[in-house]
Amino acid sequence: MTNDMREHRRYRVREGVLAALCVPGDFFASVGWIVDISMGGLCLLSPESKVEQERILEIKLMGYEDSTVPIERFPSKVIYTKPMEPISVGPYTMNRHGFQFARLSGQQQVLLEDFILANANALHMGHPN
């Protein structure tokens, strides 16, 4: 058993919940599947491989009920990118990306809490000690 030192409780999300990686002020660069999420960040599976560590991106969360409607853009920093062998979708190798949310406004925090409640599995993965 590992000792998880995260500040926020992480939740696995239901299969098929999407997020788009966006360059600030631009159209989205790539879409991926959310693995888990917390009030501090998320883990995403995506075929995008050009996500540099420490890069600032915006993440558009897509709802489970209607995955075509973005919830909000959340400013985020790339913490890590790891290739996921042998997972592939068509010609693409999937990559696992870790993102930390930047400072969120009060409205963004409320939207994120609502998103987690609507899309998370019932069981959480871990919580702060």
Would you state the CATH architecture of domain 13-119? Beta Barrel (2.40)
Q: Say what the pLDDT of residue 106 is.
A: 94
**Reduced to 3 states, what is the DSSP secondary structure of residue 8?**
coil
DSSP class of residue 48 equals -
Among the ranges given (10-19, 31-40, 54-63, 65-74), the one the predictor scored with the smallest mean pLDDT: 65-74
| Residues contacting residue 56 through CB under 8 Å, at least 6 positions apart | 24, 75, 76, 77, 78, 102
User: Is pLDDT of 127 > 60?
Assistant: no
**7 membership: H or E segment, kind and range:** none
Q: Say what the pLDDT of residue 129 is.
A: 45
CA distance 24 to 113: 22
User: Is pLDDT of 123 > 70?
Assistant: no
Query: Residue 11 in contact with residue 116, Cβ under 8 Å?
Result: yes
State if pTM tops 0.75: yes
**Residue extents of the structural domains in the chain:** 13-119
User: Is pLDDT of 2 > 60?
Assistant: no
